[in-house]
């Protein structure tokens, strides 16, 4: 890769943390284009160095996250509330058996941290504390008493046994079984069967009369102590829905404490942007693409006519929908694809400029991944010098455009750090990895160059990284700039991936379900009725207003299948593939 353009960047401060790790200043200077300020005890006796850099003005990147609160407090005292970035150089590079060779990695991490990320947009939810406790016995009633002073409580008992009537009615205790549930914090709606009130003359046990089906209850918070199946898919990710085994006293205590705090206004990130005009879900009541529906773990995505709808209040941010969306209708916003790619480009470019070779991206989340990496650094061998950690919100948010771009920019491998026992389905990520691995192998980057490491133990992570083979990096990496929307980025990244490939080929067959491919039309049977044109959501199939003609543009086809399903003559077949030559060409005439 040619050296990337250097612009005036932030002032960098790197600290050896009391000389527990080496700092390769020349490598960092080569990679980042400027010489960092060096320290041994920046957070203690050299804090004045930090103050002097702040006083000079301009953005500042500090190679330490452990003492970030101290540095932020110091900056606030000097009236500096912005322009600060922090990056963990110690656990990700300096505390490692390969630390002497980690200079290019530190340059890469500093360069990536300097890339500005867009602000996160928020979704608001409001709760008045109206709470339904769903249980089966005295545990639910006791929970109601515990929360009664803070929340507006109703207890609903499903198929209750012997329950002692309360001496005084402090809150309603009803019988019923929840048949269906939807909503989120501040806006739950529950459908209840066998709904009835207890008799006020209940003596030794609560007695209930005949129930009725189809009752509807609305509330802000649901506390589920029924011991049954969750009311929602991936219920632990549903804001305002708290569930615990009634026999687990510690778990019950935890959710009661959380429920007591759910009164007021709450914000959560808007994880996904959605453009209904790009959605290829259906046309004329014929279902085409349903990739996002198949991978959403929370049920936040539902059909809505010709497109789908994504409820931002229910969305938990896994990003699987954006990763598998072939049209770019769903795009991840934390950050968006272009911003993430700018960070990847800066990281890989600085690494190579600093003298590094055969870099491998280790894509991880904050909750699980950072803990694993830090534990490996403190108690194990640390990350290898060529492994560049890239933190994202969720590893399932990463789409094929990021993987393709990374290899086009010179990566020799991309690894996803996942849990050994995933909390939720990762089939979307598995599809992306499988498709990209097939394309990379065909282009000479090597089979297995993109893979998933599933580990819940840092020693297992270390062993997997030692055993993981790397692919073959491009002999002349691209330097393209990530610009445009996600669909454009996808086309650009794959085009550059093939252009700089070790052994480029023009066509790669892909598995069923892949978002690339061609539509083969039997011209002899085609009557030019153009039903396929009307159904095609991306204009891959098109007519000609001046003459009877059917055309096809392969770069626009997302293999949704609507053309095949709509064709009255049944003369269209879909072939999943990536044909680089066809994707570079303009519209071809299928029949005229």
The DSSP-derived string for 41-91 is: -TTTTTHHHHHHHHHT-S-EEES-STTHHHHHHHHHHTT--SSEEE---II
pLDDT digits (tens, 9 = 90+) for 253-283: 999 999 999 999 999 999 999 999 999 999 9
pLDDT digits (tens, 9 = 90+) for 179-216: 999 999 999 999 999 999 999 889 889 999 899 999 99
pLDDT for position 225: 98
Q: Which two tokens stand for residue 368?
A: 């699980």
Q: Dihedral, CA atoms, 484, 488, 492, 498, nearest 10 degrees?
A: 160
Are residues 580 and 303 in contact, defined by beta-carbon separation less than 8 angstroms?
Answer: no
Burial of 250 (0-12, 13-18, 19+ CB in 10 A): exposed
- CA separation for the pair 566, 369 (Å, rounded): 46
Question: Cis peptide before 335, with omega less than 30 degrees from 0?
Answer: yes
Q: What percent of the chain has pLDDT over 90?
A: 91
Residues in the chain: 592
Mean pLDDT for the chain overall: 94
pLDDT digits (tens, 9 = 90+) for 467-483: 776 789 999 999 999 99
Q: Which two tokens stand for residue 585?
A: 């060409």
pLDDT digits (tens, 9 = 90+) for 149-181: 999 999 999 999 889 888 888 999 999 999 999
164-185 b/e with 16+ CB inside 10 Å = b?
Answer: ebbeeeebebbbbbbeebebbb
Mean pLDDT of 336-352: 97
Q: Which two tokens stand for residue 590?
A: 């299928």
Q: Which two tokens stand for residue 460?
A: 């297992």
Residue 5 has pLDDT above 80, yes or no: no
- CA separation for the pair 295, 427 (Å, rounded): 7
pLDDT for position 466: 84
pLDDT digits (tens, 9 = 90+) for 495-522: 999 999 999 999 999 998 899 999 999 9
Mean pLDDT of 81-104: 96
Longest dimension (CA), the chain: 86
pLDDT for position 3: 44
DSSP secondary structure letter of residue 109 = H
Q: Which strand (E) or helix (H) includes residue 372?
A: helix 369-379
pTM: 0.92
Q: What percent of the chain has pLDDT over 70?
A: 98
Ranges assigned E (strand) in 343-405? 360-364, 387-391
Q: First vs last Cα of the chain: how many Å apart? A: 45
pLDDT digits (tens, 9 = 90+) for 566-579: 999 999 999 999 99
Q: Dihedral, CA atoms, 256, 262, 263, 269, nearest 10 degrees?
A: 180
Pairing verdict, β 264-269 and 588-591: unpaired
Are residues 235 and 243 in contact, defined by beta-carbon separation less than 8 angstroms?
Answer: yes
pLDDT for position 469: 66
- CA separation for the pair 94, 99 (Å, rounded): 5
pLDDT for position 8: 63
Residue 1 has pLDDT above 60, yes or no: no
């Amino acid at each position: 890769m040619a050296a990337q353009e250097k612009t005036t960047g932030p002032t960098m401060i790197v600290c050896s943390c009391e000389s527990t790790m080496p700092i390769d200043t020349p490598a960092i200077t080569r990679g980042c284009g400027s010489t960092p300020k060096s320290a041994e005890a920046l957070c203690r006796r050299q804090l004045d160095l930090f103050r002097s850099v702040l006083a000079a003005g301009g953005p500042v990147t500090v190679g330490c996250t452990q003492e970030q609160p101290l540095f932020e407090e110091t900056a606030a005292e000097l009236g500096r509330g912005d322009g600060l970035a922090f990056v963990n150089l110690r656990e990700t590079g300096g505390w490692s058996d390969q630390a002497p060779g980690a200079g290019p990695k530190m340059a890469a991490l500093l360069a990536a941290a300097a890339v500005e990320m867009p602000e996160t947009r928020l979704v608001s939810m409001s709760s008045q504390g109206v709470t339904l406790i769903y249980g089966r016995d005295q545990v639910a009633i006791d929970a109601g008493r515990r929360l009664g002073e803070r929340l507006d409580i109703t207890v609903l008992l499903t198929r209750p046994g012997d329950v002692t009537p309360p001496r005084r009615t402090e809150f309603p205790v009803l019988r019923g079984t929840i048949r269906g549930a939807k909503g989120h914090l501040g806006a739950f709606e529950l459908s209840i069967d066998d709904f009835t009130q207890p008799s006020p003359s209940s003596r030794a046990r609560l007695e209930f009369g005949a129930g009725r089906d189809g009752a509807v209850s609305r509330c802000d918070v649901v506390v589920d102590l029924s011991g049954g199946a969750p009311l929602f898919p991936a219920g632990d990710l549903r804001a305002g829905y708290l569930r615990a085994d009634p026999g687990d006293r510690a778990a019950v205590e935890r959710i009661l404490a959380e429920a007591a705090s759910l009164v007021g206004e709450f914000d959560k990130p808007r994880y996904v942007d959605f453009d209904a005009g790009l959605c290829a879900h259906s046309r004329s009541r014929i279902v085409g693409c349903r990739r996002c529906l198949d991978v959403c773990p929370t049920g936040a995505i539902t059909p809505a006519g010709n497109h789908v709808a994504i409820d931002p209040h229910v969305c938990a941010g896994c990003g699987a929908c954006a990763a598998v969306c072939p049209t770019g209708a769903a795009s991840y916003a934390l950050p968006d694809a272009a911003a993430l790619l700018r960070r990847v480009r800066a990281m890989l470019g600085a690494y190579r400029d600093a003298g590094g070779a055969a870099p491998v991206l280790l894509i991880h989340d904050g909750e699980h991944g950072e803990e694993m990496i830090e534990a490996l650094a403190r108690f194990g061998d640390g990350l290898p010098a060529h492994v560049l950690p890239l933190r994202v919100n969720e590893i399932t948010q990463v789409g094929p455009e990021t993987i393709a771009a990374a290899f086009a920019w010179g990566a020799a491998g991309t690894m996803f750090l996942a849990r050994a026992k995933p909390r939720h389905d990762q089939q979307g990520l598995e599809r992306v990895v499988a498709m990209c691995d097939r394309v990379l192998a065909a282009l000479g980057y090597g089979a297995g160059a993109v893979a998933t490491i599933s580990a819940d133990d840092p020693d297992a992570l270390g062993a997997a990284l030692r055993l993981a083979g790397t692919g073959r990096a491009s002999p002349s990496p691209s330097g393209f700039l990530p610009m445009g929307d996600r669909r454009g980025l996808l086309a650009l990244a794959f085009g550059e991936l093939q252009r700089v490939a070790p052994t480029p080929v023009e066509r790669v067959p892909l598995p069923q379900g892949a978002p690339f491919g061609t539509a083969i039309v039997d011209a002899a049977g085609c009557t030019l009725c153009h039903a396929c044109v009307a159904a095609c959501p991306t204009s891959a199939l098109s007519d000609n207003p001046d003459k009877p003609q059917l055309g096809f543009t392969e770069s626009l086809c997302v293999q949704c299948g609507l053309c095949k399903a709509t064709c009255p003559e049944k003369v269209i077949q879909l072939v999943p593939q990536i044909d680089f030559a066809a994707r570079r060409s303009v519209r071809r005439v299928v029949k005229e």
